[in-house]
Structure 1
Amino acid sequence: MPHFAHARVDLDAITDNARLLREHADGTPLMGVVKADGYGHGMVPAARALAAGGASWLGTALIKEALGLRAAGIDLPLLAWIVPPGEPVGSAIAAGIDLGVSDPALLEVIAGEARRLGRTARVHLKTDTGLNRGGVAFSAWPALVEEAARLQDAGVLRVIGVFSHFACADEPGHPSIGSQLSVFHEALELADKAGLDPEVRHISNSAALLTLPEARFDLVRAGIATYGINPIPGYSVSGLRPAMTLRSRVALTKRVPEGSGVSYGHRYRTDRETTLALIPLGYADGVPRAATNKGPVLLGGRRRTIAGTVCMDQFVVDVGDDAVEAGEYAVLFGDPGEYPGAATAEDWAEVLDTIPYEIVTRVGVRVPREYVGGAPAGRPETPPM
């Protein structure tokens, strides 16, 4: 039986979204990004679903995430791109995990661990083309690629990739996009002059994959779009299906008189005699407290709004005189094709003045993930070449 409240994840939707995105990219190899527990959907099930949809690479933020994929038996090429000091670099090298290099000092750490293990490390050199976040500053890039070439010639490491990341790809036409592409080309030329010939050059995220064919290079990194969420506000991507539905059964209903204050602070007050429905999800489960008197909820066949303050474990919906009873499902967000009238993660993001990434990734660990679809054996299919 389903849990009282749960996040239902459609693995077939993730697989179909990956296939659709590969078509949009004209067959450019696709890296499925599964950081942050697969954007809240479950890292290992999402990775397998992405592989079944043709993803030939996987990407994580952290080494421990990548090691979790290897422990689950997933052997696709795998990149972990945030490597702070003290991370288990040796474990990553031993597991055949590619490491992103955003700091010249990290290159030396990787080289030292590779020598200790007697293994050749696999690295992707990240150049900062203008995001001014991770990545090697362009002024330090020539020295980095020369040192990487020296270490590669010595058999200590192998430069598998050169990559970067856009600042404003979700704003088509933003002037920074062309500027970053130009810097990326310069960085690639410098890597070539140093004697490096990376297997993959990559800069495209989901938004760039959809709108910038000139930025596809050898690999595209698809994150949020693989989970069926549009990465560009107002941009239509036909065929993408939201993979996650967050829903809960109603815990109880009660009839209250006109003028009743509801929840902490009485920030909502009934304007008539009405029925209140209690939903056992709250900010401990990822329902933002900022959704107070704002969050959309499908209940009793109608989209309604949270009534009063979102609490740690619960919130209330005013259903008027509608015949809503305990045990019925309330859908916070999901696929409107499956639940007509349901809000999407994008709808929640718009109401709360944030991005849909935050809506799905913040769904807490107390909310069980229940999976439908997916490969019967639970292992990825061989991705098409």
Structure 2
Amino acid sequence: MNETAPLRARAEIDLAALRANVRTLRAHAPGAALMAVVKSEAYGHGAVPCARAALEAGATWLGCATPEEALALRAAGLPGRVMCWLWVPGGPWREAVEAGIDVGISGLWALREAVRGAREAGRPARVQLKADTGLGRNGCQPADWAELVGEALRAEREGLVRVTGLWSHFACADEPGHPSIEAQLARFREMVAYAEQRGVRPEVRHIANSPATLTLPGSHFDLVRTGIAMYGISPSPEIGTPADLGLRPVMTLSASLALVKHVPGGHGVSYGHHYVTPGDTTLGLIPVGYADGIPRHASGTGPVLVGGKLRTAAGRIAMDQFVVDLGGDEPPAGAEAVLFGPGDRGEPTAEDWARATGTIAYEIVTRIGTRVPRVHVDTSDTGDGTGNSG
């Protein structure tokens, strides 16, 4: 892909910024290894290029939600440790075992399917036992932990599994001082101690996500799992802005104006005429919409930089397009409209869109759809700057 070619829309992914973010995060947890979480196409940024860049910057683990995501990384030739944790019965257990993928185990049914996959593959499954220390999602409840640990150890003695990790996940690490944080840490230490007293010898123990990596050094253990912060987005405003944290946003989402036209005052704009022009003006048509991941509930609030000025989505955001009132300015068709980026040029950020829509910046970047090409710049793995689409 020609990265300078005019496109309807593009999400430019700055891999140099991603590498710098990984180095910054490693400095926050110098005694721990770093897992680069690249689930959901690297939070919308493109899993394979971002995984490669993270490994180049010193990450030694890659993390995914689904086994299909993990197997795709292996199929792309990515080395090192890969972990996935969101399984359902009947999943590709044998394939994951054959690919040397670490699988998260939250209950007996999953352990038994991993054992079956190991038998089929003719090699031990690498399993990581997840403790539910208070999040209440995946993970084994403390009351069931002894049974899960015991069965895992029996399978290990039979050569069917290798218990490579003990882990958990915070509920409120993005809220500094929340009482659940210390409660979860204490419970995690207890559950780890129980498993180790019974004979588990994990390669890694881990609970720290991005906010814990940045603010809770006592949670780092052997490995930190960094997701959103790796992409230059703060886990929450309470923790600080990306600049406060030494991070740089990696994605810049832009589109080419499809039309600029003069309209009189009193002209309705888009479905429902929720916006009516207050006087003679110019309207700019931005050719992305909710089918591309632009939130429909950003209608009337979503910020865009056009012609060096901040504009706001005028009227309803439609499936493929929305309108901004240019206030009489006349940029040419094809001019750049920047929906969000690092903010260097005065453009909005993903956090600005999150505030405008009552959500979190995680959702803004991950929802950008596949019709928007990802253009990866500064790709050291190819050297040709052509980028990749995801």
TM range (shorter): over 0.9
Deviation at 1:234, TM superposition (A): 3.5
Equivalenced residues, count? 377
Does residue 360 (structure 1) correspond to residue 365 (structure 2)? The answer is yes
Q: Deviations over 1:256-307 (max 9, x none)?
A: 0111110000000111100000000000000010010000000110111110
Does residue 265 (structure 1) correspond to residue 269 (structure 2)? The answer is no
TM-score by length of 1: 0.96
* Contact 2:169–2:209 (8 Å) recurs in 1: yes
Distance 1:185 1:234 in 2: 26
**Equivalent residue in structure 1 for 2:147, among 143, 146, 155:** 143
Q: Deviations over 1:36-91 (max 9, x none)?
A: 01100001011011111111000000000000000000021000111111110000
Deviation at 1:377, TM superposition (A): 3.5
* Contact 1:56–1:77 (8 Å) recurs in 2: yes
**Equivalent residue in structure 2 for 1:322, among 310, 329, 334:** 329
**Equivalent residue in structure 1 for 2:339, among 306, 314, 332:** 332
Q: 1:306 to 1:216 in 2, by over 3 A?
A: same
Distance 1:303 1:24 in 2: 35
Q: Which runs of 5+ in 1 are unaligned?
A: 380-385
* Contact 2:36–2:54 (8 Å) recurs in 1: yes
Counterpart residue identity of residue 297, structure 2? A
In the other structure, the counterpart of 2:85 is 81
Q: Deviations over 1:313-365 (max 9, x none)?
A: 0000001122322111000000112xx21111111111111011100000000
Distance 2:358 2:29 in 1: 30
SS of aligned partner of 1:371: strand
* Contact 2:6–2:256 (8 Å) recurs in 1: no
**Equivalent residue in structure 1 for 2:377, among 325, 350, 372:** 372
In the other structure, the counterpart of 1:15 is 19
Q: Deviations over 1:144-188 (max 9, x none)?
A: 111111111221110110000000000010000011001101101
* Contact 1:275–1:319 (8 Å) recurs in 2: yes
| Aligned residue runs from structure 1 range 279-358, under 5 A | 279-337=286-344, 340-358=345-363
In the other structure, the counterpart of 2:251 is 244
Does residue 195 (structure 1) correspond to residue 202 (structure 2)? The answer is no
| Aligned residue runs from structure 1 range 154-165, under 5 A | 154-165=158-169
Q: 1:376 to 1:126 in 2, by over 3 A?
A: closer
In the other structure, the counterpart of 1:382 is none
**Equivalent residue in structure 1 for 2:133, among 129, 153, 168:** 129
Q: 1:142 to 1:352 in 2, by over 3 A?
A: same
Distance 1:281 1:226 in 2: 26
Counterpart residue identity of residue 211, structure 2? A
Counterpart residue identity of residue 168, structure 2? S
* Contact 1:251–1:279 (8 Å) recurs in 2: yes
| Percent sequence identity over aligned pairs | 55
Distance 2:138 2:109 in 1: 14
Distance 2:49 2:72 in 1: 12
Counterpart residue identity of residue 310, structure 2? R
Distance 1:173 1:91 in 2: 42
What RMSD, in angstroms, separates the aligned Cα atoms of the two structures?
1.2
SS of aligned partner of 1:160: strand
Does residue 90 (structure 1) correspond to residue 94 (structure 2)? The answer is yes
* Contact 2:303–2:348 (8 Å) recurs in 1: yes
SS of aligned partner of 2:52: helix
**Equivalent residue in structure 2 for 1:48, among 45, 52, 63:** 52
Distance 2:351 2:294 in 1: 14
Q: Which runs of 5+ in 2 are unaligned?
A: 385-390
- Write out the 4+ residue segments of structure 1 that deviate beyond 4 Å after TM superposition: none
In the other structure, the counterpart of 1:72 is 76
Q: 1:300 to 1:331 in 2, by over 3 A?
A: same
Q: Deviations over 1:231-267 (max 9, x none)?
A: 0214333321111011001001110011111000000
Counterpart residue identity of residue 289, structure 1? R
* Contact 2:89–2:113 (8 Å) recurs in 1: no
* Contact 1:229–1:242 (8 Å) recurs in 2: yes
Distance 1:233 1:368 in 2: 29
Counterpart residue identity of residue 266, structure 1? H
Distance 2:140 2:381 in 1: 43
Deviation at 1:27, TM superposition (A): 4.4
Counterpart residue identity of residue 250, structure 1? L
Distance 1:206 1:10 in 2: 19
Please say which of residues 370-379 and 259-268 is displaced more in the overlay.
Answer: 370-379
Q: 1:61 to 1:274 in 2, by over 3 A?
A: same
Distance 2:87 2:79 in 1: 20
Distance 1:294 1:210 in 2: 31
**Equivalent residue in structure 2 for 1:256, among 233, 238, 263:** 263
* Contact 1:278–1:317 (8 Å) recurs in 2: yes
Distance 1:122 1:376 in 2: 29
Deviation at 1:4, TM superposition (A): 2.3
Q: Deviations over 1:130-156 (max 9, x none)?
A: 001000111000111111111112211
SS of aligned partner of 2:314: coil
Q: Deviations over 1:175-210 (max 9, x none)?
A: 000110011011011101210010100000000000
Counterpart residue identity of residue 301, structure 1? G
